[in-house]
Amino acid sequence: MRIGLLLCDFMPDEYVPIAGGYEDMFSTMLSECDISLISYEAYERRLPDRPDECDGYVISGSRASVYDDEQWIRDLEAFIREAVEASVPIFGVCFGLQVMAQALGGTVERFEGGWGIGVHTMTVGKQRPWMADSPHAVSLIMSHQDQVTVLPEDASLLGSSVHCENYLVEFTPIHVAIQGHPEFEPAFAERIYSNQDRDLGPLRETALASLEQQRDTETVVSWMCRILDAGNPSSGIH
């Protein structure tokens, strides 16, 4: 499969020695999927010419907020709507969830409950075929201030955490997104949290300690692979 990685941010130089660039992180994470990953710098207004240029897309996280007055975000929203109309699969991560929600009629806001950082656990409320044999609770590393507060009209909420109600969302059977970061490794998250000491305050130490907890990256990667394979007639997802 030819999968487009829609990059919504660049990797600061100081983090590159830890995990490489975002393309490296996603490529490593998706190494067990039968895909060829092609990167597009969406934050530089570089997007595919048309949705069927790839078999599916992954939308990355970002330090930006989807409600920022930035043309590249508006362009990305338009592309998402085109891909949904063309039935090309998309899996969004963090900012990817939020921009998909906003593009399709939902609302994203700065969360009054503060930062979501550290390892958080989501409880699965609804099962789907692509979640076969999955646990009912999934833990991932988090790093976000914004949240989807109102879902688009036809979206389905599949999973929630204590801190984030709209954690796992199905916009259509082949357009899905999650608030957590399956691509993050503990060493990368530790550096991010350490550099945000002034913003995070007392949350920082709790978040750092939580990085020793078990994460369910493999489960979420299996979900991503099945969604991205949805264009295959034999996938069973339509």
Q: Which domain holds residue 67?
A: 2-231
pLDDT in tens, 185-224: 999 999 988 887 667 778 889 998 999 999 999 999 999 9
pLDDT (0 to 100) of residue 32: 85
- Using one digit for the tens of pLDDT, what is the confidence trace for 4-62? 999 999 999 999 999 899 999 999 999 988 899 999 999 999 999 999 999 999 999 99
pLDDT at 235 over 60: no
- Is 238 contained in some domain? no
Which helix (H) or strand (E) segment holds residue 40: the answer is strand 36-41
User: Is 182 inside any structural domain?
Assistant: yes
pLDDT in tens, 96-127: 999 999 999 999 999 988 898 999 999 999 99
159-166 own/partner pairs: CB under 8 Å, 24+ apart: 159/122, 159/123, 159/124, 159/125, 159/126, 160/122, 160/123, 160/125, 161/120, 161/121, 161/122, 161/123, 162/120, 162/121, 163/113, 163/116, 163/120, 164/111, 164/116, 164/120, 164/122, 166/97, 166/101
Q: How confident is the model at residue 160 (pLDDT cuts 50, 70, 90)?
A: very high
pLDDT of residue 203: 85
Based on the residue annotation, tell me whether 163 is a catalytic residue of this protein. Answer: no
Among the options 94, 120, 144, 164, which is catalytic? 94
Average pLDDT, the chain: 93
Residue 70 belongs to a domain: yes
Query: Quick check: 233 pLDDT over 70?
Result: no
- Exactly one of 164, 170, 181, 225 is catalytic; name it: 181
What stretches of the chain show up as alpha helix (H) in DSSP?
Answer: 16-19, 22-29, 71-85, 95-103, 186-195, 197-200, 203-210, 217-228
Number of compact structural domains in the chain: 1
Nearest to 219 by CA among 154, 150, 113, 139: 139
Q: Is residue 116 part of a domain?
A: yes
Give domain status of residue 237, yes or no.
no
Structure confidence at residue 236 (pLDDT): 52
In this structure, is residue 108 part of a structural domain? yes
Looking at residues 222-228, what average pLDDT do you find?
96
Write the CATH number for 91: 3.40.50.880
Active site residue 8: no
Residue 53: active-site member? no
pLDDT of residue 73: 98
Let me know if residue 17 belongs to a domain.
Answer: yes
Residue 141 pLDDT > 80 = yes
